[in-house]
Structure 1
Amino acid sequence: MNSTALKYGSIALRVVLAAVFLAAGFAKLGGVQMMVDSFAAIGIGQWFRYLTGFIEVGSAILLFAPGKQAYGAMLLVGTMIGAVLAHLFILGPSAVPAVVLGLLSAIVLFIYRGQLLLVGQSSQPLGETRA
């Protein structure tokens, strides 16, 4: 795939993900009744709805923050893993939307994987030393 297609494909994916997660996050934070009922069924408490909403909104913003796209996508992948598990074991009826959003987030994470620091890796550019 050429770099132009990758660039514009990445932008399109991030726009779609940001739109979905901003809408879902603000619905959670705004107390939309369906969200309140879903989190009541999960049984952890409404604080978890607020936390999830903040993660979704914050992650959607990170998808467009220079150098932070991988972190936003990684948070969304983790959130969607939780959503899939909640749908499969508690909420039903279908985890397909969460699976699709998780896979799209994983693609963005793969594209921007170079932004992540590995354990033991320095954030300094090679060849520079600390003063």
Structure 2
Amino acid sequence: MNNHWMYWLVKLTAAGILLQTLFFKFSGAAESVFIFKTLGVEPFGRIGSGVIELIAGVLLLFPKKAWIGAIMASMTMVGAVVSHLFILGIEVQNDGGTLFILAIITLLCSVIVLFVERHKWLSLLATTFRT
């Protein structure tokens, strides 16, 4: 991305969504508890995903580590999207699909970061799997 400010906007969007949902996960908000009970992983899934999202959100804000945060965020959001599509439904407790849309936005932003930072993680893969 040639526009540095646009890239930061993408990273801040993903980090902002990840970090703002932490209050609900860590406080045991009724909607979060409902989601993770429905998935059969309450409370460990709720707390565990919150920790992963906290780390991912923070890493997205550090230029040298943003790609790691983007990998963590994208994997977590794939899980969220799949959960919505196959278990929870798009709309959870009459939220109008807000959580699903936030997961999609975070996933898209994370994929953009991974694309922009591809030289970092592709070189790591090449080094790791070099024969």
TM-score by length of 1: 0.81
Change (3 A) 1:96 1:16: closer
Residue 11 of structure 1, CA deviation = 0.5
Question: Could you tell me which residue of structure 1 aligns to residue 5 of structure 2?
Answer: 8
**1:54-82 Cα distance to aligned partner (Å, 9 max, x none):** 11111010011231100100111100110
Identity %: 34
The AA in structure 2 aligned to 1:82 is G
Amino acid at match of 1:34: E
Answer with 1 or 2: which has the greater Rg: 1
Task: Give the alignment's Cα RMSD to 1 decimal.
Answer: 1.8
Aligned length: 119
Residue number among 96, 120, 125 corresponding to 1:118 in the alignment: 125
1:119 positional shift = 4.3
Find the counterpart in structure 1 of residue 19 from structure 2: 22
Instruction: Normalising by structure 2, report the TM-score.
Output: 0.81
Q: Separation in 1 of the partners of 2:60 and 2:102?
A: 19
Match of 1:65 in 2: 62
DSSP 3-state at the match of 1:44? coil
Q: Which has the higher contact order (CA 8 A, sep 6+)?
A: 2
Asked if 1:34 is matched to 2:31, the reply is: yes
Residue 24 of structure 1 aligns with an amino acid whose one-letter code is: T
CA displacement 1:103-127 (0-9 Å, x = unmatched): 1210011111222211435xxxxxx
Q: Which runs of 5+ in 1 are unaligned?
A: 122-131
Q: Is the 8 A contact 2:10 2:109 kept in 1?
A: yes
Query: Which of residues 77, 81, 106 in structure 2 aligns to 1:80?
Result: 77
Query: Residue 68 of structure 1 contacts residue 115 of structure 1 at CA under 8 Å; is this kept in 2?
Result: no
